[in-house]
Chains A and B, each alone.
Chain A
Amino acid sequence: QASFSSGEGLTLPRVTCPNHPDAILVEDYRAGDMICPECGLVVGTGSWYRIDSNVKGTHPSTFLLQGTGAASFDEFGNSKYQNRRTMSSSDRAMLHAFKEISNMADRINLPRNIVDRTNNLFKQVYEQKSLKGRANDAIASACLYIACRQEGVPRTFKEICAVSRISKKEIGRCFKLILKALETSVDLITTGDFMSRFCSNLGLPKQVQMAATFIARKAVELDLVPGRSPISVAAAAIYMASQASAEKKTQKEIGDIAGVADVTIRQSYRLIYPRAAELFPPDFKFDTPVDKLPQL
C-alpha cells in the first residue's frame, strides 16, 4: 500500500511531522497523503505521487509537436510542413475531458489510480453514448466522484463541486445516470471515510481524530441521529471530540472544512450531546470533562 519515497534517491520533502522531525514520512497512495509512521499524523503535501506516475509514454503532447529541424523551415523561417494532423478527431472531446479530469484531480491531490479509474469510467460512459446530451464536464465530475467512492476514499459532492464548474445538482443527476448506464453500484458512505481528511485539515492530533471516529460510529450504532447525513454526524463528532480535547475548534471552522452549515452541526450535536459520556472511547484523555462540554 505505501511506498518509501526516499528509496528513489530524491531529497526529502521540506514538510516533516511536527512531533517527529526526523521520521521519514510514509506515502499512502490511496488517499494521496503522507503519514508519519511514529504517530500516524497525516502531513499531506500531495505532490509526491507524481513521481510514481508513468505519464510520459502516453502524454498527448508527444503527438502534436511541430518539426523543429533545419529542413522543416523554408527560406523565410516559416514552417514548411503543416503537421497539424488531428490525431483523434472523434475522441478529441474525450481527450479534453481527460485533461479536465486531470486538472480537477490535481486540485485536490488525488493519486494516479483514482485518475485512471475516472478516465476508464469516462471512456465507458462516452462510448456508450447514453449520456450524450450532458455536458462532458458534468460527466467527468461525476466519474471522479464515483472513482473516489469505488477506491474506498469517497469525496463529498461539495468537495468535487469545489474543483469543478458544475453545480452539485447536476453532478448528482449525472452520478445517478452513470450508475444506471454502467449498471454498477457504489457502497454507502460512512462517517469514518472522512475523518482523516477533515481532522488533518483542521490540524487536530491523532488522538482527537480517533476519538471523533469512535464517537461517530457509536452514535450511528446507537441510532441517535436517524436520517442525518453521515457528513453532518461526522462534523458533529469532530466538534465534540475537539471540544473535549485541548484543540478546540468552533462549529464554523468545522463547517467550513466539511462543507456543512454550522446550524447543521448544531442540530446533530444536540442529538448526540445527551449521551456524550457513552460515546467517547474508554481511553480518551479529557482536557474538558464531559459535563463541561458546550451545550448548544
Chain B
Amino acid sequence: MDDLALERYFDDSIANDSSCPLEEELAHQAAPQQVPSPSPPQLPETSGPGGKVRDVLDFSFLPDELNPQDDRSSKTAAAAESQAAALDVSHDSGIVQDSSAANLQQDVLSLGLGRGASPFCPMTPMTPMTPMTPVTEKSGIIPQLHEEQSRLAARKYARVVQKLGFPARFLDFKVQNMVASCDVCFPIRLEGLVLTHQQFSSYEPELFPGLIYRMVKPRIVLLIFVSGKVVLTGAKERAEIYEAFENIYPILKGFRKQ
C-alpha cells in the first residue's frame, strides 16, 4: 500500500477536479490563488498507518481570507462538516454514511445565514473543510479513503488552530475508533438471539430497542435491530469490522424471521 501515492492522489483530486460540488468550490478558489496541487515533499509518509508527519504543511488550497465569494461554500462546508461531526460517534475518525452534502447545501442556503456562519454555531466563521461524510463505494472511490479523509480533516483542524496563533504541530495521528453500519436485508428474531447467546447479548426493550452484542474475538460491539440493520463500533482497524461482520452474519441468518 503506497501511502505516499495515496496522499498525492487525494490532494490532487481535491485541488483539481472532483465529483463533489463542494470541492468544486474549493478548486474554484484554489485555482486563481496559488499552485493548486501541493507537492509530495510536504506530506512525507514513512510507512504504515501510524507514520509521523512533518509539521510543515501546505494548505495553499485553503483560502486564508474569507471574502464574500466564500460565503456560499463556507456555509455549506461548515454545515456539512458540523453535520458530519454531529453524526460521528468516534473521536478521531468515523465511517459515517447517509449524509449527503448536497441536501445540506439547499437547507443552509434557504436559511439565509450571514457571512461565514453555520446553522449549528451561528456567528462562527469556519473555513471550508473536506466533507467528512464519504461518497459510497459505488462511485468507485478506492477503499481506505475514509481513514485518509479523517487524517486530512485532522490536519486541517491543526492548521486552523495554528492560524489562530497557537504553536500547533500535527503528530501521532492514530485512528481510535471506527463505526460501521450495514443491513442484512432480513428481519431478525432478537428474542432467540438473546436466549442462545446470553453471555454476549443484552436485550432490554425497555431500555433500548436494539440488541447489544459484545463480540469477544475482535472486540467489537454490535447493535442489532429487528429490521436487520446492524451497527458495528469499537474497531481500531477496518479489518476488525469486516471480521466481526463475517462472524455475526451466519448467526443472524440462523435467527431470520420467516
Q: Quick one: given A188-B191, A188-B194, are A227 and B206 in contact (CB under 8 Å)?
A: no
Assess A227 versus B227: contact at CB under 8 Å? Given A156-B206, A157-B206, A188-B203: yes
Q: Roughly how many angstroms separate A228 CA and B205 CA in the complex, as a whole number?
A: 8
Cβ distance B193 to chain A, nearest Cβ, rounded Å: 11
- CB atoms of B226 and A229 under 8 A apart: no
List chain B residues, Cβ under 8 A from A226: 187, 226-227, 257
Q: Is A91 an interface residue (CB 8 A)?
A: no
Q: How many chain B residues touch A (Cβ–Cβ < 8 Å)?
A: 16
Shortest Cβ distance from B231 into chain A, in angstroms?
15
Complex interface: chain A residues within 8 A of B226 (CB): 226-227
Quick check: is B225 within 8 A (CB to CB) of the other chain? Answer: yes
Number of interface residues of A (CB under 8 A): 16
Q: Is the CB of A189 within 8 A of B191?
A: no
**CB of B204 within 8 Å of the partner chain:** yes
Partner of A229, one of B191, B202, B205, B225: B205
Once bound together, how far apart are the Cα atoms of A104 and B75, in whole Å? 54
A157-B203 in contact given A185-B198, A227-B225 (Cβ < 8 Å): no
When distances are taken between beta carbons in the complex, the residues of chain B under 8 Å from A185 are 198
Find chain A residues with CB under 8 A from B209 CB.
Answer: 227, 229
Residue on B with the closest CB to A169?
B207
CA distance A189 to B191 in the complex (A): 10
Query: Which residues of A approach B to under 8 Å, CB–CB?
Result: 156-157, 172, 175-176, 179, 185, 188-189, 223, 226-231
Query: Given contacts A172-B204, A175-B204, A231-B206, could you give 15 more A-B pairs where the C-beta distance is less than 8 Å?
Result: A157-B207, A172-B206, A172-B207, A179-B202, A188-B191, A188-B194, A188-B195, A188-B203, A223-B257, A226-B257, A227-B209, A227-B226, A227-B227, A228-B205, A229-B206
